[in-house]
Amino acid sequence: MGNYIPVLIIVAAVCVFALIATIKIGLNPEDKTYSKNAKKRFRFLSLLYVITFVPALIWTVLYYYFF
């Protein structure tokens, strides 16, 4: 297996971005367009979390299994 530090940095950056976006969604739930915008953002964040955490979990399991 090669050097995974660049991959880990990218995954960490995406996780931080998703965390910031999640916090931003929850800032103003009284906004009149909150429910419409939140539904679209929730889908985006769900996809972002799946794309980030599923491969990270698989890589972690494979790393500890083989090394």
Render pLDDT for 2-51 as a digit per residue (tens, 0 to 9): 677 787 788 788 878 877 877 777 666 666 776 777 778 778 878 888 88
Predicted local confidence at residue 40, as pLDDT: 80
Say how many C-beta atoms besides its own lie within 10 A of residue 45's C-beta.
17
Contacts of 18 (CB under 8 A, 6+ apart): 45, 48, 49, 52
- The pLDDT value recorded for residue 28 is 63
pTM, rounded to two decimals: 0.49
Please state the domain extents for the chain: 5-66
